[in-house]
Structure 1
Protein backbone atom coordinates (compact mmCIF):
# COMPACT_ATOMS: atom_id res chain seq x y z
CA UNK A 1 0.00 0.00 0.00
CA UNK A 2 1.17 3.53 -0.75
CA UNK A 3 2.82 5.11 2.36
CA UNK A 4 0.33 8.00 2.30
CA UNK A 5 -2.37 5.50 3.19
CA UNK A 6 -0.37 3.64 5.87
CA UNK A 7 -2.04 5.35 8.82
CA UNK A 8 -5.53 5.10 7.42
CA UNK A 9 -8.13 2.44 7.91
CA UNK A 10 -9.12 0.81 4.60
CA UNK A 11 -12.40 2.76 4.36
CA UNK A 12 -10.63 6.05 5.09
CA UNK A 13 -7.93 5.22 2.53
CA UNK A 14 -10.59 4.63 -0.12
CA UNK A 15 -12.35 7.86 0.82
CA UNK A 16 -9.02 9.72 0.66
CA UNK A 17 -8.36 8.33 -2.79
CA UNK A 18 -11.83 9.33 -3.99
CA UNK A 19 -11.52 12.85 -2.58
CA UNK A 20 -8.07 13.25 -4.13
CA UNK A 21 -9.49 12.28 -7.50
CA UNK A 22 -12.39 14.72 -7.08
CA UNK A 23 -9.97 17.54 -6.20
CA UNK A 24 -7.97 16.82 -9.35
CA UNK A 25 -10.97 16.44 -11.67
CA UNK A 26 -12.73 19.57 -10.41
CA UNK A 27 -9.54 21.63 -10.81
CA UNK A 28 -8.81 20.35 -14.30
CA UNK A 29 -12.39 20.65 -15.53
CA UNK A 30 -12.60 24.22 -14.20
CA UNK A 31 -9.39 25.02 -16.06
CA UNK A 32 -10.81 23.56 -19.28
CA UNK A 33 -14.11 25.43 -18.96
CA UNK A 34 -12.33 28.75 -18.40
CA UNK A 35 -9.89 28.04 -21.21
CA UNK A 36 -12.78 27.33 -23.59
CA UNK A 37 -14.38 30.62 -22.52
CA UNK A 38 -11.10 32.49 -22.94
CA UNK A 39 -10.91 33.69 -19.34
CA UNK A 40 -8.36 33.43 -16.57
CA UNK A 41 -10.96 33.07 -13.83
CA UNK A 42 -14.68 33.30 -13.15
CA UNK A 43 -14.61 36.98 -12.26
CA UNK A 44 -12.86 37.88 -15.51
CA UNK A 45 -15.43 35.92 -17.48
CA UNK A 46 -18.31 37.61 -15.67
CA UNK A 47 -16.78 41.04 -16.38
CA UNK A 48 -16.47 40.16 -20.07
CA UNK A 49 -20.11 39.06 -20.14
CA UNK A 50 -21.28 42.24 -18.39
CA UNK A 51 -19.22 44.40 -20.74
CA UNK A 52 -20.70 42.66 -23.77
CA UNK A 53 -17.30 41.38 -24.91
CA UNK A 54 -18.68 37.85 -25.19
CA UNK A 55 -22.14 36.54 -25.92
CA UNK A 56 -24.22 35.77 -22.85
CA UNK A 57 -24.87 32.30 -24.14
CA UNK A 58 -22.89 30.08 -23.63
CA UNK A 59 -20.52 32.31 -21.66
CA UNK A 60 -22.82 32.54 -18.64
CA UNK A 61 -23.17 28.75 -18.60
CA UNK A 62 -19.37 28.53 -18.66
CA UNK A 63 -19.24 31.01 -15.78
CA UNK A 64 -21.72 28.95 -13.72
CA UNK A 65 -19.91 25.69 -14.48
CA UNK A 66 -16.57 27.20 -13.46
CA UNK A 67 -18.07 28.52 -10.21
CA UNK A 68 -19.61 25.14 -9.37
CA UNK A 69 -16.35 23.38 -10.14
CA UNK A 70 -14.38 25.87 -8.01
CA UNK A 71 -16.79 25.36 -5.11
CA UNK A 72 -16.61 21.59 -5.52
CA UNK A 73 -12.82 21.74 -5.61
CA UNK A 74 -12.69 23.79 -2.42
CA UNK A 75 -15.18 21.56 -0.58
CA UNK A 76 -13.30 18.40 -1.59
CA UNK A 77 -9.98 19.91 -0.48
CA UNK A 78 -11.44 20.83 2.88
CA UNK A 79 -12.91 17.35 3.33
CA UNK A 80 -9.62 15.75 2.34
CA UNK A 81 -7.70 18.01 4.70
CA UNK A 82 -10.04 17.09 7.56
CA UNK A 83 -9.69 13.39 6.83
CA UNK A 84 -5.89 13.60 6.76
CA UNK A 85 -5.75 15.69 9.93
CA UNK A 86 -7.88 13.07 11.67
CA UNK A 87 -5.55 10.32 10.47
CA UNK A 88 -2.49 12.23 11.72
CA UNK A 89 -3.99 12.54 15.20
CA UNK A 90 -3.98 8.76 15.59
Structure 2
Protein backbone atom coordinates (compact mmCIF):
# COMPACT_ATOMS: atom_id res chain seq x y z
CA UNK A 1 0.00 0.00 0.00
CA UNK A 2 1.42 3.36 -1.05
CA UNK A 3 1.58 6.27 1.34
CA UNK A 4 -0.82 9.12 0.56
CA UNK A 5 0.76 12.24 -0.93
CA UNK A 6 -0.60 14.45 1.87
CA UNK A 7 2.01 12.88 4.17
CA UNK A 8 4.88 14.39 2.17
CA UNK A 9 5.20 17.53 4.36
CA UNK A 10 5.65 15.27 7.42
CA UNK A 11 8.26 13.19 5.62
CA UNK A 12 9.89 15.94 3.56
CA UNK A 13 13.34 14.31 3.54
CA UNK A 14 11.99 11.02 2.21
CA UNK A 15 10.65 9.72 -1.07
CA UNK A 16 7.17 8.42 -0.22
CA UNK A 17 7.47 5.83 -2.96
CA UNK A 18 10.46 4.28 -1.18
CA UNK A 19 8.75 4.00 2.23
CA UNK A 20 6.85 0.91 3.30
CA UNK A 21 3.90 1.20 5.68
CA UNK A 22 4.97 -1.85 7.69
CA UNK A 23 8.76 -1.67 7.51
CA UNK A 24 8.95 2.08 8.15
CA UNK A 25 6.10 2.41 10.64
CA UNK A 26 8.22 3.85 13.46
CA UNK A 27 9.61 6.57 11.19
CA UNK A 28 6.16 7.32 9.75
CA UNK A 29 4.42 7.43 13.14
CA UNK A 30 7.14 9.58 14.71
CA UNK A 31 7.21 12.02 11.80
CA UNK A 32 3.43 12.40 11.63
CA UNK A 33 3.15 12.91 15.40
CA UNK A 34 5.91 15.54 15.22
CA UNK A 35 4.63 17.46 12.21
CA UNK A 36 1.15 16.34 11.28
CA UNK A 37 -2.20 18.02 11.41
CA UNK A 38 -5.76 16.77 11.72
CA UNK A 39 -5.85 14.95 8.36
CA UNK A 40 -2.53 13.17 8.83
CA UNK A 41 -3.29 12.24 12.44
CA UNK A 42 -6.65 10.81 11.38
CA UNK A 43 -4.91 8.73 8.71
CA UNK A 44 -2.25 7.63 11.21
CA UNK A 45 -4.85 6.40 13.71
CA UNK A 46 -6.82 4.58 11.02
CA UNK A 47 -3.69 2.98 9.57
CA UNK A 48 -1.82 1.94 12.73
CA UNK A 49 -4.29 2.16 15.61
CA UNK A 50 -3.89 3.75 18.99
CA UNK A 51 -2.00 0.79 20.50
CA UNK A 52 0.79 0.94 17.88
CA UNK A 53 1.03 4.72 18.09
CA UNK A 54 1.21 4.60 21.89
CA UNK A 55 4.01 2.02 21.65
CA UNK A 56 6.07 4.37 19.44
CA UNK A 57 5.57 7.23 21.91
CA UNK A 58 6.59 5.01 24.84
CA UNK A 59 9.70 3.85 22.97
CA UNK A 60 10.90 7.03 21.26
CA UNK A 61 13.60 6.97 18.62
CA UNK A 62 16.76 8.79 19.65
CA UNK A 63 17.01 12.33 18.33
CA UNK A 64 13.75 12.36 16.39
CA UNK A 65 11.32 14.23 18.67
CA UNK A 66 10.62 17.89 19.27
CA UNK A 67 10.55 18.31 23.02
CA UNK A 68 7.13 19.99 23.26
CA UNK A 69 5.61 17.41 20.92
CA UNK A 70 6.95 14.43 22.88
CA UNK A 71 5.69 16.00 26.13
CA UNK A 72 2.26 16.46 24.57
CA UNK A 73 1.93 12.87 23.34
CA UNK A 74 3.26 11.43 26.59
CA UNK A 75 0.56 13.39 28.39
CA UNK A 76 -2.14 12.32 25.92
CA UNK A 77 -1.22 8.65 26.41
CA UNK A 78 -0.59 8.96 30.15
CA UNK A 79 2.94 7.65 29.70
CA UNK A 80 6.18 8.49 31.49
CA UNK A 81 9.74 7.95 30.39
CA UNK A 82 12.94 7.76 32.38
CA UNK A 83 14.71 11.12 32.04
CA UNK A 84 17.69 9.58 30.24
CA UNK A 85 15.48 8.07 27.51
CA UNK A 86 13.44 11.27 27.26
CA UNK A 87 16.56 13.42 26.83
CA UNK A 88 18.00 11.11 24.17
CA UNK A 89 14.76 11.26 22.18
CA UNK A 90 14.82 15.05 21.88
CA UNK A 91 16.20 16.69 18.73
CA UNK A 92 19.18 18.82 19.66
CA UNK A 93 19.22 21.70 17.18
Q: Larger Rg: 1 or 2?
A: 1
Greater RCO between the two (CA within 8 Å, min separation 6)? 1
Give the alignment's TM-score, normalised by structure 2.
0.25
Higher helix share: 1
TM-score, with length taken from structure 1 = 0.26
